[in-house]
Amino acid sequence: MSARDIVNAKITSRETAHFRLASARFFGKKIVFTNGVFDLMHLGHVDYLAKAKDCGDILVVGMNSDSSVKMLNKGTTRPLQDQTSRATVLASLQFVDYVIVFDEETPYELIKSLQPDVLVKGADYKVEQIAGHDIVLSKGGEVKLIEFVEGYSTSAIERKILGQ
């Protein structure tokens, strides 16, 4: 299997992921879920995702589709990269096990379907603000908040490119 085939196999549907994760659970694996736009991959993203992976055995990344990003009021220029490009870059990271593109504004339904053991989000959120926290906590799972690397964000990079 080529490197490209491995990357492509990590980009999956929620239905396929559901079955793969059921198998992993059977073998006692802890499933970690996080989500985001991941528009321009940078050090902050890589650090965050590596720390998320450290919270369990299998890291599933829910990624906003292009239409979903438009719902988030990120500005008229976003996303800067299309969803296929963003998903491919995410899937190329060694510690990302699966990438699932979702069309909704939040990953709530995806989390409900996948039933992760650990839900990870940036420390700029409060647990109660995180989509799916109720699902994970009600089944005895954990919600973990991860600090960001100071000075790294897609918005900051976009402003720098535009000379603002």
User: Residue 6: what pLDDT?
Assistant: 86
Structure token pair of residue 145: 């908040």
**How do residues 140-159 score in pLDDT, each as one tens digit?**
999 999 998 777 676 677 77
Query: What is the chain's length?
Result: 164
Domains and CATH numbers, the chain: 3-161 (3.40.50.620)
User: Residue 152: what pLDDT?
Assistant: 66
Please state, in angstroms and as integers, the Cα–Cα distance from residue 76 to each residue in 64, 70, 82, 126, 149, following that order: 16, 8, 14, 27, 26
Helices (H), 3-105: 3-10, 14-26, 43-53, 66-71, 83-91
How much is the pTM? Answer: 0.92
Distance of CA 110 to the CA centre of its chain: 11
Distant-in-sequence, close-in-space partners of 106: CB < 8 Å, separation ≥ 6: 131, 132
Distant-in-sequence, close-in-space partners of 162: CB < 8 Å, separation ≥ 6: none
14-25 mean pLDDT: 95
Q: Is the pLDDT of residue 45 over 90?
A: yes
Phi/psi at 38 (5° precision): 50, 55
H/E element, 122:
strand 118-122
**How do residues 48-101 score in pLDDT, each as one tens digit?**
999 999 999 999 999 999 999 988 877 777 788 999 999 999 999 999 999 999
Q: Is the pLDDT of residue 5 over 90?
A: no
Beta carbons of 120 and 34 less than 8 angstroms apart: yes
